[in-house]
């Protein structure tokens, strides 16, 4: 099916942390291949691999030095081909990360670019002269701290980096850069990948006039832990040229059968609107943002994000996620809203998988996994190190997948690159598999329900105006979804419905009264004009 991605569920794998096959403490492609049965057994349609390309690993692969080869840490191109073949045999699509807005400073093209102002790659990266007083050309900041400009004595100019100083940004105003990136993507399409996840999809172009970014218009009572969040990034990213580049990417993917794209909207201002813009016809197939990866777990919050997207972009398509490799796991973020960790994890899974759009699950989410508490000496993430102790870095969510209760959770026979600690070890695949009511089996049940429900795949969403903590909506004309987003029981009156269908948690229907226990949820068949009142 050409539009397999519409309404699909993708499982994100962080290769360093999924399965180590050779005992060096770092996950690899052969390990992922060995564990693909687990992913397929969940009932998802696709697997997304975070970067596996050649890299110095200063940002764990998001600093690429060769776009068309595999880093030896993870294996070889032959190992990658074997993974794709096995995934396809299991009915899984394979989506790979594309980190195209910047490269490693070890990339041969950057080494050439910085050598002089008149070499063939001189204009492939973003260079600017200093101001008369020697300071950077503007006030742009790096996501990872400090100015977004690094002085280079060879050219006597600054180069632009949105992230680490070792991650210089490409100059997408140069058509040759775009042409080259198209061919890099074609390389992987020809190898049989089913699509791409584009890192920081709104970061490709910068303002050619290098105008200052504005101060954030949102009122702040104190300084942010990361000063980057104190600016409104009008010029360092989010340029209109980005959208034309999305159209070129889509044109490339359309040359191949049934390929798909998803963009990461790295933005805290108007992210839902921008998701719609980036998925308008002829652009990306789907897009996600960090909107649902914060601490708000209210019915009004979820209702507003979904309603705002579809009202503003009826021809666009969202991907929703609660967690990923960059944020605190939602079982930790939302813990206070759960009567228990398991109850919250089961509800969050059912909630996410009932949303209109495509869905992305983060590895370990299906176990109710929580963030790992790490000491400063255990950190590897530059963001976590630079901003210690807050905001919390990303290592805490990236600790190894836990397969069983043995040492290191079955992840490695060596010393894991990040520790597997007791709270995480307790939530492993082997102890939950086949156990009724476990988080893992609840996810499998909910995925099977979604896969078999045309309403959940295709149906439009209509929300009911209900008080907190109740979230209620219909999907299409056939299904009513109700969630109690609190640790206290609630009851609603429902009419125009038949009986309970599909997965449920502490829910009972008597006459027209639906009782939802702590973190309860229920799905009901619609047999008339469905109405719900608290």
CATH number at residue 497: 2.60.40.1180
Cβ-based neighbour number of residue 92 at 10 Å: 20
Q: Tell me the mean pLDDT in the region 375-384.
A: 93
Regarding whether 485 and 391 lie in a shared domain, the answer is no
Within-domain flag for 117:
no
Range of the domain at 361: 9-103+175-451
CA 74, 80, 85, 89: dihedral to nearest 10 degrees? 30
What does the pLDDT look like over 210-219, one tens digit per residue? 999 999 999 8
Longest C-alpha distance within the chain, in Å?
79
Cβ-in-10-Å burial (0-12, 13-18, 19+) of 441 comes to: middle
Q: Tell me the mean pLDDT in the region 483-493.
A: 97
For residue 280, pLDDT beyond 80? yes
Judged by average pLDDT, the poorest of 265-269, 373-377, 391-395, 478-482 is: 391-395
Helices (H), 280-340: 299-312, 330-333
CATH of the domain at 324: 3.20.20.80
CA pair distance 131, 71, nearest whole angstrom: 39
Within-domain flag for 114:
no
CA pair distance 302, 334, nearest whole angstrom: 14
Regarding whether 477 and 441 lie in a shared domain, the answer is no
Judged by average pLDDT, the poorest of 51-55, 108-112, 525-529 is: 525-529
Whole-number pLDDT of residue 393: 81
Whole-number pLDDT of residue 1: 76
Within-domain flag for 312:
yes
Number of domains in the chain: 2
Whole-number pLDDT of residue 270: 95
Whole-number pLDDT of residue 528: 85
Domain boundary among 430, 451, 472: 451
Cβ-in-10-Å burial (0-12, 13-18, 19+) of 137 comes to: middle
Percent of the chain topping pLDDT 90: 97
Within-domain flag for 168:
no
What does the pLDDT look like over 418-440, one tens digit per residue? 999 999 999 999 999 999 999 99
For residue 390, pLDDT beyond 90? no
Q: Tell me the mean pLDDT in the region 342-354.
A: 98
Distances 42 to 37, 446, 503 between C-alpha atoms, Å = 9, 9, 15
Regarding whether 88 and 40 lie in a shared domain, the answer is yes
Regarding whether 412 and 469 lie in a shared domain, the answer is no
**Model pTM greater than 0.95?**
yes
Q: Tell me the mean pLDDT in the region 79-85.
A: 98
Nearest in space to 125 (alpha carbons), one of 174, 162, 166: 174
Cβ-based neighbour number of residue 493 at 10 Å: 12
Judged by average pLDDT, the poorest of 114-123, 215-224, 485-494 is: 215-224
Residue found under tokens 């680490």: 164
Q: pLDDT confidence of 392, banded at 50, 70, 90?
A: confident
Is 255 a catalytic site residue? yes
What does the pLDDT look like over 515-531, one tens digit per residue? 999 999 999 999 988 99
**In sequence order, what are the residues at sequence separation of 6 or more whose Cβ sits closer than 8 angstroms to the Cβ of residue 232?**
213, 214, 215, 216, 217, 269
For residue 17, pLDDT beyond 80? yes
Domain boundary among 451, 486, 510: 451
For residue 466, pLDDT beyond 90? yes
- Cis, peptide link before residue 216, omega less than 30° from 0: no
Q: Which H or E run contains 41? A: helix 29-42
CA pair distance 534, 514, nearest whole angstrom: 10
Domain boundary among 451, 485, 519: 451
Percent of the chain topping pLDDT 70: 100
Choose the catalytic residue: 133, 255, 377, 465.
255
Regarding whether 472 and 337 lie in a shared domain, the answer is no
What does the pLDDT look like over 500-514, one tens digit per residue? 999 999 999 999 999
Q: Are 45 and 8 in contact (CB under 8 A)?
A: yes
Distances 204 to 137, 162, 228, 238 between C-alpha atoms, Å = 19, 10, 18, 8
Q: Tell me the mean pLDDT in the region 456-466.
A: 97
For residue 294, pLDDT beyond 80? yes
Whole-number pLDDT of residue 2: 83
Choose the catalytic residue: 20, 199, 264, 381.
199
Within-domain flag for 3:
no
**Tokens (6 digits) for 163:** 């992230």
The residue ranges of DSSP E strands in 428-503, in sequence order, are 461-463, 470-475, 479-484, 490-500
Regarding whether 427 and 311 lie in a shared domain, the answer is yes
CA pair distance 236, 209, nearest whole angstrom: 10
**In sequence order, what are the residues at sequence separation of 6 or more whose Cβ sits closer than 8 angstroms to the Cβ of residue 222?**
none
For residue 45, pLDDT beyond 80? yes
Regarding whether 181 and 33 lie in a shared domain, the answer is yes
When the pLDDT of each residue in the chain is averaged and rounded to a whole number, the result is 97
Whole-number pLDDT of residue 61: 97
Whole-number pLDDT of residue 306: 98
**Tokens (6 digits) for 73:** 């840490």
């Amino acid at each position: 099916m050409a539009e397999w991605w519409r309404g699909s569920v993708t499982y994100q794998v962080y290769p360093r942390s999924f399965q180590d096959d050779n005992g060096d403490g770092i996950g690899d492609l052969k390990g992922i291949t060995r564990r693909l049965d687990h992913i397929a057994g969940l009932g998802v349609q696709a697997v997304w691999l975070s970067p596996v390309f050649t890299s110095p690993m200063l940002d764990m692969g998001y600093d690429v030095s060769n776009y068309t080869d595999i880093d030896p840490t993870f294996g070889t191109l032959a190992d990658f081909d074997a993974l794709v073949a096995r995934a396809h045999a299991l009915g899984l699509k394979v989506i790979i990360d594309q980190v195209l807005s910047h490269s490693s400073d070890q990339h041969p093209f950057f080494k050439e670019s910085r050598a002089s102002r008149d070499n063939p790659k001189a204009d492939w990266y973003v260079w600017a002269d200093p101001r008369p007083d020697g300071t950077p050309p503007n006030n742009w900041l790096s996501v990872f701290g400090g100015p977004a400009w690094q002085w280079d004595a060879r050219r006597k100019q600054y180069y632009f980096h949105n992230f680490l100083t070792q991650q210089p940004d490409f100059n997408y105003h140069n058509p040759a850069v775009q042409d080259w990136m198209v061919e890099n993507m074609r390389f992987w399409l020809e190898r049989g990948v089913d699509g791409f996840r584009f890192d920081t999809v709104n970061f490709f172009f910068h303002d050619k006039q290098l105008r200052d970014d504005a101060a954030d218009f949102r009122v702040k009572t104190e300084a942010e832990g990361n000063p980057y969040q104190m600016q409104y990034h009008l010029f360092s990213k989010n340029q209109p040229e980005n959208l034309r580049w999305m159209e070129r990417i889509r044109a490339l993917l359309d040359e191949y059968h049934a390929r798909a794209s998803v963009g990461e909207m790295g933005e805290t201002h108007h992210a839902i609107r921008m998701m719609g813009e980036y998925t308008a016809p002829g652009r990306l197939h789907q897009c996600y943002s960090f909107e649902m990866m914060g601490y708000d777990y209210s019915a009004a919050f979820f209702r507003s994000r979904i309603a705002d997207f579809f009202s503003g972009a009826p021809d666009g398509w969202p991907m929703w996620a609660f967690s990923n490799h960059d944020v605190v796991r939602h079982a930790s973020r939302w813990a206070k809203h759960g009567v228990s960790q398991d109850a919250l994890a089961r509800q969050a899974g059912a909630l996410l998988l009932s949303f209109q759009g495509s869905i992305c699950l983060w590895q370990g989410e299906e176990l109710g996994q929580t963030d790992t508490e790490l000491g400063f000496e255990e950190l590897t993430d530059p963001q976590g190190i630079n901003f210690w102790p807050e905001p919390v870095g990303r290592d805490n969510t990236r600790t190894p997948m836990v397969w069983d209760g043995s040492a290191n959770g079955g992840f490695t026979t060596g010393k894991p690159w990040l520790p597997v600690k007791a709270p995480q070890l307790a939530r492993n695949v082997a102890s939950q598999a086949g156990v009724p009511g476990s988080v893992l089996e609840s996810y499998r049940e909910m995925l099977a329900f979604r896969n078999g429900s045309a309403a959940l795949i295709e149906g439009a969403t209509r929300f009911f105006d209900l008080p907190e903590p109740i979230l209620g909506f219909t999907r299409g004309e056939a299904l009513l979804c109700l969630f109690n987003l609190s640790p206290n029981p609630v009851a609603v009156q429902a009419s125009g419905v038949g009986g309970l269908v599909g997965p449920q948690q502490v829910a009972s229907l008597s006459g027209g009264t639906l009782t939802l226990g702590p973190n309860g949820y229920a799905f009901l068949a619609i047999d008339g004009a469905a109405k719900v009142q608290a």
